[in-house]
Amino acid sequence: MAAAHFNRERTRRRIAVVFFFWSLISLSCAGRLPVERQKLDVQKHLNRLNKPAVETIKSLDGDTIDCVPISQQPAFDHPFLKDHKIQMRPNYHPEGLYDDNKVSTKAKDRTNPINQLWHMNGKCPEGTIPIRRTKKDDVLRASSVKRFGKKKRRTVPQPRSADPGLMNENGHQHAIAYVEGGKYYGAKATINVWEPKIQQPNEFSLSQLWVLGGSFGEDLNSIEAGWQVSPDLYGDNNTRLFTYWTSDAYQATGCYNLLCSGFIQINSEIAMGASISPVSAFRNSQYDISILIWKDPKEGNWWMQFGNDYVMGYWPSFLFSYLADSASMIEWGGEVVNSQPDGQHTSTQMGSGRFPEEGFGKSSYFRNIQFVDESNNLKAPKGIGTFTEQSNCYDVQSGSNGDWGHYIYYGGPGRNPNCP
């Protein structure tokens, strides 16, 4: 009887011990599985983005630029582009391109051409395109692998909306000029380049033009290009050339640069997302870049040109619904994220960090503001609207003259005594 009781007790203890160790193993695995799964997801995403290169160039700012055969770029991961024949040049350029050689002495205070830092260590061969290599840390800074390279929703202002609360959703603030109410087939501007200070890593400051179609609800179409400082996206505070597109108001479609399939790059000399150098300095030399976006009247694709010489590539028209026809609004200006650190307005700067009234050499500007009409002609707007959510934080002023055409000065310091 005692022996039977002893055996039962020993069996119970063995079961308890086994159960205890099994619980420990289960808990350990449960903790490891999400981490391992995340590592796997990140590596798969990196493998998709970082295509095999024929040459690799190290940049002074720590970037790695991969020279990838043009036919193997991320665009062609899109199922609709599997058999796409690359269009190596646009059928038409817009007529009436503004001649930057005719600008005034004041505007010519740009002593050197703008370059990209990686050019100091080499160039990509013909037949390839330069792609900034995505690092593991870049992806890990995103809220999720799925959201990497994407903007948050509702980052475009609605100039004529009666609801300012809606316009400032997600803490995005703007100082812009705009035209609306017609059919637009492109936009151009020359954009003063600075390196604004960013307070929080999750904030950014950018200066760009927007080509917009549709409503500002779930179906917004947008093509965007300019320069930005975004520690979250790039891991530093460098000023970088960028593009963006979406066809569903920043929900599932689109991304920055070449971080998803869509934009087809044909240029071997300029890398999307790479650092721009030099940048403007307060009361010193001013530097700017020209951006042109236009719709090819024959094929319907939306093309981008950087400067006077670099046709970058195109967004195929099938990516869009409204923009498959035309744009209904164009915007030029700045945008920042105000995450309200410590319950106060951010001190993240827009443009140069100075208000518009300070003028040339101090405040940031857009000049030669134009749009493309239905006849593929570049036109200066007859009237231009301006918009900002909080003019005491960031402001915008417009004007026009014979040297600069239509222009704006814009920007500001963010937090200041009048912007608490």
CA 189 to chain centre: 17
Whole-prediction pTM value? 0.87
Q: For residues 408 and 378, what is the distance between their CA atoms, to the nearest angstrom? A: 18
Phi, psi of 54 (to 5 degrees): -90, -20
- Which residues on neighbouring strands pair with residue 240, listed in sequence order? 228, 275
Residues 118-129 pLDDT 10s = 999 999 999 999
pLDDT at 162 over 50: no
Count of Cβ atoms closer than 10 Å to residue 167 Cβ = 19
Query: What does the pLDDT read at residue 36?
Result: 81
327 closest CA partner among 217, 182, 159, 208: 182
pLDDT at 102 over 80: no
- Lowest-confidence region among 19-28, 302-311, 327-336, 373-382: 19-28
pLDDT at 216 over 90: no
C-alpha dihedral over 101, 103, 108, 110, to 10 degrees? -70
pLDDT at 30 over 70: no
Residue 392 to residues 175, 272, 284, Cα–Cα distance (Å): 11, 33, 26
Mean pLDDT score across all residues of the chain: 88
| Active-site annotation holder among 9, 224, 331, 357 | 224
335 is a catalytic site residue: yes
pLDDT at 32 over 80: no
Residues 302-318 pLDDT 10s = 999 999 889 999 999 99
Contact 129, 264 (CB under 8 A): no
Query: What does the pLDDT read at residue 213?
Result: 95
Query: What does the pLDDT read at residue 82?
Result: 86
CA triple 288-231-37, angle to 5 deg: 135
CA triple 122-127-130, angle to 5 deg: 45
Residues 238-259 pLDDT 10s = 999 999 999 999 999 999 999 9
- Please state the rounded mean pLDDT for residues 337-351: 94
Residues 382-417 pLDDT 10s = 989 999 999 999 999 999 999 999 999 999 999 999
Query: What does the pLDDT read at residue 159?
Result: 61
pLDDT at 194 over 70: yes
Residues 350-363 pLDDT 10s = 999 999 999 999 99
Rounded percentage of the chain residues whose pLDDT exceeds 90 = 75
Residue partners of 88: CB distance under 8 A and separation at least 6: 266
Query: What does the pLDDT read at residue 103?
Result: 43
- Please state the rounded mean pLDDT for residues 223-250: 97
pLDDT at 268 over 60: yes
pLDDT at 27 over 80: no
Top pLDDT among 217 and 371 is at: 371
Residues 128-158 pLDDT 10s = 999 999 999 999 999 899 999 998 765 555 6
Residues 68-94 pLDDT 10s = 999 999 999 999 898 899 999 999 999
Contact 371, 378 (CB under 8 A): yes
Query: What does the pLDDT read at residue 55?
Result: 97
137 closest CA partner among 61, 235, 56: 235
pLDDT at 110 over 50: no
| Active-site annotation holder among 195, 203, 331, 335 | 335
Residues 42-66 pLDDT 10s = 999 999 999 999 999 999 999 999 9
Residues 2-24 pLDDT 10s = 555 545 666 566 655 445 555 55
- Which residues on neighbouring strands pair with residue 176, listed in sequence order? 333, 387
Rounded percentage of the chain residues whose pLDDT exceeds 70 = 84
Query: What does the pLDDT read at residue 191?
Result: 97
- Please state the rounded mean pLDDT for residues 326-346: 95
Three-state SS letters, the chain: CHHHHHHHHHHHHHHHHHHHHHHHHHHHHHHHHHHHHHHHHHHHHHHHHCCCCCEEEECCCCCEEEEEEHHHCHHHHCHHHCCCCCCCCCCCCCECCCCHHHCCCCCCCCCCCCEEHHHHHCCCCCCEEEEECCCHHHHHCCCCCCCCCCCCCCCCCCCCCCCHHHHCHHHEEEEEEEEEEEEECEEEEEEECCCCCCCCCCCCEEEEEEEEECCCCCCCEEEEEEEEECHHHHCCCCCEEEEEEECCCCCCCCEECCCCCCCEECCCCCCCCCEEECCCCCCCCCCEEEEEEEECCCCCCEEEEECCCEEEEEECHHHCCHHHCCEEEEEEEEEEECCCHHHCCCCCCECCCCCHHHCCCCCEEEEEEEEECCCCEEECCCCCEEEECCCCCCEEEEEEECCCEEEEEEEECCCECCEC
Cβ burial of 278 (10 Å; 0-12, 13-18, 19+) is: middle
Contact 155, 334 (CB under 8 A): no
Top pLDDT among 1 and 201 is at: 201
224 is a catalytic site residue: yes
- Confidence class for position 171, pLDDT limits 50, 70, 90: confident
